[in-house]
Amino acid sequence: MVKIFIVDDDQSLQRLYALILTTAGFEIVATAINGEDAIEKYHQMKEKPNIILMDHRMPIKNGLDAMTEILQVNKNEKIIFASADISVQAKAKALGACAFLEKPFKMQELLNKIQSIVKELILKH
């Protein structure tokens, strides 16, 4: 089962993502409310997620900084960046995000991105 880690400071969005993703057959392994929280939880995970859904604008530490630190631990981590701030799209991809979704987006777009990443992961193994 594909394991997903949700990082977003909006807890109602976390719940919505979790509901849609679990209904689609994915497992939510953890959620985090800011970049600092995400990094701490990532380090504590015995089994790392297959995909991280990462917001940009969050208190304490933003998504770009959190993504950079996580990719220093595992450069192959698959991170889908989700943000209303389209100005960070190029930077997010340059730093290692495998996809960027501009908020608000349709949940089908998220599911499509996840499915294409899953296919890519299967092909590599």
HEC string of 75-93 equals: CCCEEEEEECCHHHHHHHH
Q: How confident is the model at residue 63 (pLDDT cuts 50, 70, 90)?
A: very high
CATH tag for 3-15+48-124 (out of 3.40.50.300, 3.40.630.90, 3.40.50.2300, 3.20.20.10): 3.40.50.2300
Q: What tens digit of pLDDT does each residue of 97-122 get? A: 999 999 999 999 999 999 999 998 88
CA 71-35-75 angle, to 5 degrees, is 5
- pTM for the whole structure: 0.96
- CA–CA distance, 12 with 15 (Å, rounded to integer): 5
Q: What tens digit of pLDDT does each residue of 72-103 get? A: 999 999 999 999 999 999 999 999 999 999 99
Q: How confident is the model at residue 125 (pLDDT cuts 50, 70, 90)?
A: low
